[in-house]
Amino acid sequence: MTAARAGRVRVASGREGLTGLPDHGVAVPVPPVLPSCSLPAGAASSFSRAAVAVAVVGSWLVPPWVVLIAGLVAGLPHGAVDHLVPRWWLGARAPWMLLVVSVYAATAAASYLAFRTWPVAAVALFLAVSAWHFASGETGFADLRAGRALAGRRLRAVGHVVAVLALPVLLHPDGVLPLLRVVVDAPVELPPGSGTAVAVAAVVGLLVVAGVLATDLSRGRRAEAVDLGLLVLLAVLVHPLAAFGVYFGAWHSVRHLARTLVDDPGNARLLADGRLGAALRRFAVSAALPTLASLLLVGALVVAADGWRGFASEYLALLAGLTVPHLVTVAWADRRRAAASSAVTVQQPPVRAGVRVAARGPRPPW
Ligand SMILES: CC1=C(/C=C/C(C)=C/C=C/C(C)=C/C=O)C(C)(C)CCC1
Ligand SMILES: [Fe+2]
């Protein structure tokens, strides 16, 4: 019996406390098990680390733009069940769903147009909100994996953003500038003589991540230190476009998927029973149509685009357009989750739609 299966006793109704005392107060023996949310978190943790390790060793075998495009496509489905998020948290029914989908599509279209109309300002704003989204996704995932809210969230968020967005650009500006020029449709250049400033900024960035790593290790947050260490290796050793593709497709979106599986009340029983494959299949079914629609849009761009430059710029504008409502949805779900867990005592885990939201258990071994 797996640890997750052994945990079934505790999560079956979602109404037992962490002590194993059901609501009617009869003590039952509780084996030392991991909470059911550990299953997707553990799998996502191992998968994303393995992907980064493989990229660090072997990414030079594949052209960076291929890895970037593959990662961007692989990451598409992670936002494909966003339209279900309000239902998970509010129990909203069909007419609301229509409204949610319409607002989502309108926001995506408006963001796409903003990206096309004011590319420089839009890219700057987009990078800022992306940094926030990546950081909150990562710290939220770390909490899920640990089974509790980890301390040092702000510091770890800064370390994460420096590792995944700042260091790749500062260490390899020549790898990013050509694509950035295409995206903003302007001759973006580093100001003459700015080489030293960029080098100094890169050293500062490395010092920041070293500080975060040292703090994580000294506070016993080993898993978070391993993650940050791997992302720094990715930033230092891999072409920045390939690094972003790997991060987006195999790290951010996979970890987001783990949180999504736990959030979906329909998966509570499956995960408690250790049936990760079945929960993934449910996700695949829900994500299929929106992912297909996005892929068709991308396909139409490939056909309509005038060469790879036109395609790259359209594709990133489309990605940015789809991303804005995704960022809003995820931020809203984060607030609901935070409110749900702060309303809960140690004895009584959050219950939403009759299902326990997140179990707080012993820290898992990864
Ligand atoms: C602008 C730009 C880039 C950044 C893209 C970003 C930051 C995408 C963020 C996506 C998000 C936040 C998705 C949601 O989950 C690249 C590809 C590095 C290449 C150069 C141009
Ligand atoms: Fe995301």
* H, E, C per residue of 271-338: HHCCCHHHHHHHHHHHHHHHHHHHHHHHHHHHHHCCHHHHHHHHHHHHHHHHHHHHHHHHHHHHHHHH
Residue 300 phi, psi dihedral angles, 5° rounding: -65, -35
Burial class (CB in 10 A: 0-12, 13-18, 19+), 285: exposed
> Which residues of the chain fall below pLDDT 50?
1-34, 345-366
- 172 annotated as ligand-binding: no
- Give the model's pLDDT for residue 37: 67
Q: How far is the CA of 205 from the centre of ligand 1 (A)?
A: 19
Q: How far is the CA of 344 from the centre of ligand 1 (A)?
A: 36
Going from the C-alpha of 122 to that of each of 7, 130, 169, 185, 301, the distances in angstroms are: 47, 12, 18, 12, 20
Residue type, 341: S
Q: Which residues line ligand 1 (CB under 6 A)?
A: 123, 127, 130, 133, 176, 179-180, 183, 244, 316, 323, 326
Length of the chain: 366
Q: Give tens-digit pLDDT for 329-345.
A: 999 999 888 887 776 53
- Give the model's pLDDT for residue 315: 81
Ligand nearest to the CA of 259: 2
Contacts of 276 (CB under 8 A, 6+ apart): 39, 40, 43, 261, 270
- Give the model's pLDDT for residue 366: 41
Map tokens 């969230």 to a residue. Answer: 153
Ligand nearest to the CA of 132: 1
Q: How far is the CA of 252 from the centre of ligand 2 (A)?
A: 7
* CA-proximal residue: ligand 1, atom 20 (nearest): 180
Instruction: Looking at the CA of residue 79, tell me the nearest atom of ligand 1.
Output: 15
Ligand nearest to the CA of 179: 1
Q: CB of 160 within 8 A of CB of 138?
A: yes
- Give the model's pLDDT for residue 319: 84
Q: How far is the CA of 20 from the centre of ligand 2 (A)?
A: 35
